[in-house]
Structure 1
Amino acid sequence: MAKNLVDSIQMEVRSKQPCRKELDFTVPADAVKSETDKVLREFAYAVSIPGFRQGKAPAGMLKSKYGNDIRQEVERKIVYAAFELAGKDGSLDIVTCGIEGEPKLEFDQEFKFTLGADIAPEFELGDYKALKVKEELEAVTDEQIDERVKTYRAMYGNYAEAEGAAQKDDMLKVSYKSDFPLPEDASPALKRQLEAESTFLWLSDPETIPGCTAALTGAEVGKEYTIKAEYPADYREAALAGKTVNYTVKVEGIQRRVELTDQELAEKARVKTIEEFRDMLRKAMEQENQSKQRSAVIEKVYAEIDKAIPEFELPPSVLASEVQKELQKIARETVKSEEDAEKFKAGLEEHKKAAEEPAKKALRRTFILRKIAKAEEIKLEQGEVDAQLREMSRYYGYKEKEFRDMLEKNGGMDDLQLDILSNKVLNHLADMATK
């Protein structure tokens, strides 16, 4: 009985580091020939060659005309079979792997290639099931509700003309222009961002023009002011990203929120009385406290588990990828202008060092929770992923399929699935610790 491709491949494992292995594969010539013949038959039916019926073109002619495509397809099938073989070896908990070098397959000849594989670290979890944490739910006080009511009074108050100098959170009626050269093909949004007549600016976050709150707090009606706006490197209008733009702003009016009365606030909240509104707030704040308490329990439990586990080696390729993610976070937080970008590049090595510690901590947490998931037989369900995708797509304003495709293209789907599984494990641990 003929062997299938996976059974025909020979694998030898070499160790480079505790979490890094090299998997050497040898595919015998007869297995290469067998797989090539299968691919040739597929091509014979998929292509059309003048003078031959579908599926009847000679192998030599197919190799001559489509040799590179056929070779790539045979290589793909063999490498896929090698991945399957590596996964069948129960001693290898492969996290990620890829082909090393550029092996080239020759038809009907023995084929050798190597996969570099990152292996999950080995460590003991300790007695995490015995952990106990006391829940301490904080009560909602009348004073806290008073403060929240005060916030809502101001938040939902109506704007009215204000006298004197502008204050933070005021709404200013202004006309402004900038020194930025307007491109001929500028979008309406870019034009409005650079020049506008009798429009409104809010002296609060998020700022329409970067720096407008600081520059216009204290401004008076009828006077002109200048703003040196430094746009962040990831600003939505690419033409302004990382740029510094100087504005001249004329203040035409100042409006300030007038706090709502009890009855106005109740009507705004669609309840009959302020007492009903306070009851509604109390329930919402109690839920907030429960959520905070749950998070606190989760972190306490994980901290105890982490403390009981000695340091262990981390897979090098996965660690490098995690460091890169942390580096991108640092860049988003610090690079707001062209000058910031240059400084970031100059200090790149220091930033990499700063990214290493949080990357190691995050990766260590991932492997600890991954091992607990296996021990507790906690698995990710497709329905959980779909539900999270629906919620996220609504939040970010995308169609669900569009958001899913975007995550799959940029590698975000793996991160999403890992987050969902990690949260399941953490909540399972919290449940055990509070029983």
Structure 2
Amino acid sequence: MNVELIELSPCKKQLRVKLDVEEVDQAFDRVTGQFRKQANLPGFRKGKAPREKVEAEFKDKIEEEVKQQLMSDAYRRAMDEQGLKPVTNPDIEEIQFGRGQTLEFMATIETAPEFELPEYKGLPGKRERVEISDNDVEKAINALRDQRGQYENVEREIQDGDFAVVNYTGTSEGKALTEYAPTARGLTEQNKYWLHVHAEAKDDHFIPGFTAQLVGAKAGDKRDVKVDFPEDFVAKELAGRKGEYAVEVVEVKEKKLPDLDDEFAKGWGTESLDKLREGVRADLENDRKNKAESDVRAQVLEVLIDKCDLKDLPDSVVGAETRGMVYNIVQQNQQRGVGKDEIERNKEQIYATANMAAQDRVKAAFIVQRIAKEENIEATQEEIAGHLSMLAQQNKMDVQEFYKKVQENDGMHEIVNAVLHDKVVGFLVENAKIEEVDPAPPAEEAHSHSHSHG
């Protein structure tokens, strides 16, 4: 066998493979013999038909089987001979094949990148100390209290903090808003729509200054509301425009919160308010510990990726990862209510963001594989089973059913890599130089232009 290696790029190779006539003919003889043993031809007992009749009857099938066996075996031997480890299936192009001829074919493959692994022990990282204050606990308790609030109709004027149920129609310069923004139907007209009233325009979750103009109105009243759509408004076609709304107040509602007492605590499965506070504190502590650990893992991996001189990556691997991330970004946008038109307008930015993230993920995967090999880190059967069980639970599926689905989609390799990734990153954190730091002050909650009260 003769193998010629052509390097198309650092991660893309082409092999030209040539098998001698003798090897090809031997394969034809061997496969023909196998077919003869199984052949049931008229006038002959099974396996006793003359070779030439078997060759004539099964000519195409014999050729296909010979080709498949020879190419598969020659490809494997060529990989071993050249010391190549492909990361994708080969693209095979047949050049010549037939009895009495040499077999020649070209295989184009992508391979793992070659790179020098930097020092991966002693990587720097910062872990926030977990401190749960009484104020943190009270904020969480009040959030639980808010979840159990009841909306009650009130026969009075709207006050700051009330909920107004309204019908409205919106225009700009006398034209329906949908003439400027076709997808903004919900901003143009609504019936029995809930709005949380804020006397301060900056606090308005709908359109800044909209609900402040409803203060003082009662059920049955009509108001003309004028607004300035902000420059960063979610419907970009309306950004910077002036709007006019004809609003009818249908109902005025006040949110009544339950008393903070033992009875309230029992509704959350605890015997007393003190016990509820203890449970909330423990939950907050656990959540923050998990977040702090997750942040450290991300930091250490980011530092390692930056230290590693890994510029060349297999195009098809990055491409597949990018497509998956584009799909996730689009789904997230759709779940946030972003319209198809806006997603289409931003598709280049979405692709660029996905591609950058995909490159980092692919780099991390190759680095993790190398470290796993260096440190003899392997995924055990118990760990793989545990990961499968966790994923099955997340997908609300029976473990066996989920395992079958993974196998059908040829996804076990992905499961093993996920376990390996988790173990290697854990190893990096164990061997990192982690500095304990004070927690960062909580970021002020940003207001989003959501269109429902939730």
TM normalised by structure 1 equals: 0.68
| Kept after mapping to 2: 8 A contact 1:133/1:297 | yes
Say which one has the larger Rg: 2
- Distance, in Å, in 2 between the alignment partners of 1:159 and 1:384 is 46
Report the aligned-residue RMSD. 4.3
For the 8 Å contact 1:97–1:115, the answer to whether it is kept is: no
Code of the aligned partner of 2:118: G
Q: Does 1:144 align with 2:143?
A: no
Match of 1:92 among 79, 84, 88: 84
Deviation of the 1:281 alpha carbon:
2.2
SS in 1 for 2:274: helix
- The 1:102–1:12 alpha-carbon spacing in structure 2 relative to 1, beyond 3 Å, is closer
Provide Cα deviations, 1:46-105, integer angstroms capped at 9, x if missing partner.
665444444444454444444444433333333332343245347423322413335564
Residue 116 of structure 2: aligned partner: 124
Residue 24 (structure 1) aligned with residue 23 (structure 2): no
Question: What amino acid is aligned across from residue 150 of structure 1 in structure 2?
Answer: N
Deviation of 1:108 (Å): 5.1
Using the TM superposition, give the Cα deviation of residue 311 of structure 1 relative to its aligned residue in structure 2, in angstroms: 4.4
Which residue is equivalent to 1:306?
305
For 1:350-372, what per-residue CA distance to the aligned partner results, in whole angstroms no more than 9, with x for missing partners?
65444432222222222222222
User: Aligned in 2, Cα 1:283/1:99: closer, same or farther, shift over 3 Å?
Assistant: same
- In structure 1, list runs of 5 or more residues that go unmatched: 1-8, 173-200, 205-212, 224-250
Alpha carbons 1:41, 1:55 under 8 Å: kept: no
> Could you list the per-position Cα deviations for residues 405-432 of structure 1 after superposition, in whole angstroms to 9, with x for gaps in the alignment?
4445556544443332212111110011
Q: Distance in 1 between matches of 2:418 and 2:355?
A: 20
Cα distance in 2 for residues equivalent to 1:94 and 1:147:
54
* 2:227 matched residue in structure 1: none
Q: Distance in 2 between matches of 1:334 and 1:12?
A: 49
Once the two structures are TM-superposed, the CA of residue 159 in structure 1 deviates from its matched residue by: 4.9
In the alignment, which residue of structure 2 is the partner of 1:357?
356
Cα distance between partner residues in 2 of 1:284 and 1:86: 57
2:172 match: none
Tell me, in whole angstroms, the C-alpha distance in 2 between the residues paired with 1:23 and 1:417: 30
- Please give the TM-score of this superposition, normalised by the length of structure 2: 0.65
- Give the aligned partner of residue 289 of structure 1: 288
Would you say how many aligned residue pairs link Structure 1 and Structure 2?
364
Letter in 1 for 2:326: L
Tell me, in whole angstroms, the C-alpha distance in 2 between the residues paired with 1:75 and 1:271.
71
State the partner residue of 2:320. 321
Taking the aligned partners of 1:400 and 1:69, their CA distance within structure 2 comes to: 42
What is the match of residue 271 of structure 1?
Answer: 270
Cα distance, 1:308–1:29 mapped onto 2, change above 3 Å: same
Displacement after TM superposition at 1:140 (Å) = 1.5
Aligned equivalent of 1:110: 102
Alignment partner of 2:378: what SS? Answer: coil
Distance 1:285 1:342, change over 3 A: closer
Q: Structure 1 residues 274, 351: CA separation in 2 closer, same or farther (over 3 Å shift)?
A: closer
Distance 1:54 1:341, change over 3 A: farther
Name the counterpart of 1:75. Answer: 67
- 3-state DSSP class of the match of 2:90? strand
Q: CA, structure 1 residues 102+24, in 2 after alignment: closer, same or farther (shift >3 Å)?
A: closer
1:366 maps to amino acid: A
CA contact (8 A) 2:152 2:254 kept: yes
Query: How has the CA–CA distance of structure 1 residues 324 and 270 changed in structure 2, closer, same or farther, with 3 Å as cutoff?
Result: closer
Judging changes above 3 Å, is the alpha-carbon distance between structure 1 residues 358 and 91 closer, same or farther for their aligned structure 2 residues? same
> Are the aligned partners of 2:10 and 2:312 in contact in 1 as well (CA < 8 Å)?
yes
> In the aligned structure 1, how far is the partner of 2:352 from the partner of 2:103?
41
Letter in 1 for 2:287: E
Instruction: Report deviation, 1:396.
Output: 1.4
Cα distance, 1:37–1:221 mapped onto 2, change above 3 Å = farther
Between the aligned partners of 2:38 and 2:220, the Cα distance in structure 1 is 76
Matches within 5 A, 1:178-217: none
Per-residue CA distance 1:224-243 (angstroms, 9 max, x = gap) = xxxxxxxxxxxxxxxxxxxx
Tell me if the contact between 2:17 and 2:78 (Cα under 8 Å) persists in the aligned partners. Answer: no
Question: Is 1:259 equivalent to 2:258 in the alignment?
Answer: yes
- 2:190 corresponds in structure 1 to none
Partner of 1:393: 392
